[in-house]
Amino acid sequence: MELGLPLIPVVDNATSHLLASAFVGIIMCRAVYILTGYVSVLCFKGYDKLSYKQKMEWNNRGFSTFHALFAASLSLYLLLYSDLFKEDPQDGLIINNYSFLSNSVLGISIGYFLTDLAMILWFYPVLGGLEYLLHHGLSLFSQFLAVISGCGQIYILMVLFTESTTPFVNLRWYLDVAGEKNSKLYMYNGVMLFFGWLVARILLFIYFFVHMYIHFDEVKTIFPLGLCTLLTVPPMLTMMNVFWFWKIAKGMVKTLSKSRQSQIHNHIQ
């Protein structure tokens, strides 16, 4: 009896590499979580006055920021500066390209998303609501397929680069908790968040879809579950990004208006 095609084609050593990388990601999150607490006690006098849940979220955003910097920088390197996704007919389809480094980055990122998702569920809804559960779930599933199959990593890394906006989101929360919501740094960070989100989560996704359309002859060669995921998950993430962008834009306008009114008031006095 002939066996049908596997639901997910598994490349050599992918499973062991994924497990090892994800474990590293989980350990990384735990280490940075603890380190954030120690550093915060020394550098921020108000840390000890925070509630238990605030301290937990403070430390959680510490490893969230660390992962964002790690994932965004290595994704940028793999996409732009390495030869991994160089378009060369002799190298075959770029949709099937992967490397030890790309698998490691995605595996470590899976470890981060697992850790963060576990904390979100445990402390629900302190660290985020249903939209965060959906975002993390979609990200985990997509990255898992990309590592196991070795397919579509160019697009998964594009999406992973969008984590570059996370440090601005976290700094905004830190400043708010520290009572610096009226500071210039809070205002400047809000502006940077707006433009960073516009580039990394709106314009990049437009490029993502254009690139996928141009290379659709390659895209459609992916195994069925991978193709279905590639055609459905990015549009869902795009809708979420547009919704969050609208909220960020409203917040920036409100902050700039308050700053402008404060300047006028001080000038009159």
pLDDT of 100 reads 96
CA–CA gap between residue 168 and residue 154 (Å, rounded) = 25
Dihedral in degrees, nearest 10, Cα atoms 139, 144, 149, 150: 60
What per-residue confidence (pLDDT) applies to 257?
Answer: 83
pTM: 0.92
Supply angle C-alpha 109, 208, 148, rounded to 5: 40
Instruction: Output the pLDDT for position 196.
Output: 97
Q: What is the pLDDT of residue 269?
A: 57
The pLDDT, as a whole number, for residue 201 is 97
Long-range Cβ contacts of 78-86 (<8 Å, 24+ apart): 78/102, 78/105, 78/157, 79/154, 79/157, 79/158, 79/161, 85/154
What pLDDT is recorded for position 182? 87
pLDDT < 70 regions, the chain? 1-7, 89-91, 259-269
pLDDT for position 225:
95
Q: Give pLDDT, residue 266.
A: 58
Residues constituting the chain: 269
- pLDDT, tens only, 120-168: 999 999 999 999 999 999 999 999 999 999 999 999 999 999 999 999 9
259 in Cβ contact with 187 (< 8 Å):
yes
